[in-house]
């Protein structure tokens, strides 16, 4: 009878196979659960990093908004006081027309006020909150106009300007804003080459729009400058306002584009302004 009990209680082959199937399924489910858990952890990390970036960008925009309001108020107040002072300087010039020494001092004063006026204009451009007026225009013609207006300064600094913009390239944007942005990029490159060099303006149509790049043969940018180049009031130039590239950033932003700063493949700095075209052409 004992032998019959032992024989009856022993697992059969079918029972062993079923147990192995259950264990295999349990093992596979455990592996899938671990993989899902790791995937969820990775997604949480990604979303957390993305949220931190968004929060920093939101905080930055809030700071810029507060800064913009303050800067706009200061700029308007300074400009209101500059108008009568400029008039008085003009009257003073007439009175001392025959005094060479006094005229020389007056010229120094006028240069100081001219520099102050540039700063006010930069502040007003930086704080401008108007929407862009979209229109198609020839990009090459705009760059040629800027080159013509800057030719005396370029020649004085022994800077060769190379324009590589297709003649038939049309861009849709706010022409006045884009003119200001390209002008600021060119002036920034000119400041980087006080002893001369080559300034190159290029444009090309990419998959997302048009890229306008301005390259110089100056000393290039440090890692810190590349990271902070578009922050308001950050400057490495003596007497600079630190608003030139910040204005370019704002103009790119209102067009739905972007701007990047880097060093060129050989030497010098390379700043690229990217503007999407499909959406802008539809808006125009």
pLDDT tens digits along 70-96: 766 777 777 777 788 888 888 888 888
What integer is the mean pLDDT of 114-137? Answer: 77
According to CATH, the topology of domain 135-283 is: Heat Shock Protein 90 (3.30.565)
pLDDT tens digits along 195-231: 999 999 999 987 778 999 999 999 999 888 888 888 8
More reliable by pLDDT, 20 or 135: 135
pLDDT at position 111: 79
pLDDT at position 33: 84
Mean pLDDT check: name the lowest of 127-141, 169-183, 189-203. 127-141
pLDDT at position 4: 47
This prediction has a pTM of 0.63
Please choose, from the candidates 226, 224, 138, 118, the residue with its C-alpha nearest in 3D space to the C-alpha of residue 178. Answer: 138
Widest distance between CA atoms in the chain:
140
DSSP 195-255: T-EEEEEEEEE-SSEEEEEEE--SS---HHHHHHTTSTT--SSTT--S-HHHHHHHHHHHT
pLDDT class for 185, splitting at 50, 70, 90?
very high
For the chain, give the mean pLDDT.
Answer: 82
pLDDT at position 5: 45
Pairing of strands 159-164, 197-205: parallel
């Amino acid at each position: 009878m004992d032998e019959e009990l032992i024989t009856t209680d022993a697992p059969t082959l079918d029972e062993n196979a079923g147990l192995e199937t259950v264990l295999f399924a349990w093992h596979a489910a455990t592996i899938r659960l671990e993989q899902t858990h790791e995937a969820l952890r990775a997604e949480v990390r990604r979303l957390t990093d993305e949220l931190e970036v968004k929060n920093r960008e939101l905080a930055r925009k809030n700071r810029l908004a507060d800064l913009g309001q303050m800067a706009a108020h200061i700029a308007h107040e300074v400009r209101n006081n500059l108008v009568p002072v400029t008039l008085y300087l003009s009257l003073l010039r007439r009175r001392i027309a025959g005094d060479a020494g006094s005229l020389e001092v007056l010229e120094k004063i006028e240069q100081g006020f001219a520099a102050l006026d540039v700063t006010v204009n930069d502040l007003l451009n930086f704080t401008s909150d108007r929407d862009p007026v979209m229109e198609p225009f020839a990009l090459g013609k705009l760059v040629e106009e800027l080159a013509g207006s800057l030719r005396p300064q370029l020649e004085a600094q022994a800077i060769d300007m190379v324009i590589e913009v297709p003649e038939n390239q049309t861009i849709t944007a706010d022409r006045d804003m884009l003119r200001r942005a390209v002008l600021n990029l060119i002036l920034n490159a000119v400041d980087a080459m006080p002893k001369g060099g080559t300034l190159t303006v290029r444009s090309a149509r990419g998959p997302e729009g048009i890229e306008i790049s301005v390259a110089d043969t100056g000393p290039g940018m440090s890692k810190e400058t590349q990271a902070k180049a578009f922050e308001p009031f950050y400057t490495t130039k003596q007497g600079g306002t630190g608003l030139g590239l910040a204005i370019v950033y704002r103009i790119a932003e209102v067009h739905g584009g972007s701007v990047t700063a880097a060093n060129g493949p050989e030497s010098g700095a390379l700043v690229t302004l990217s503007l999407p075209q499909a959406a802008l052409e539809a808006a125009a």
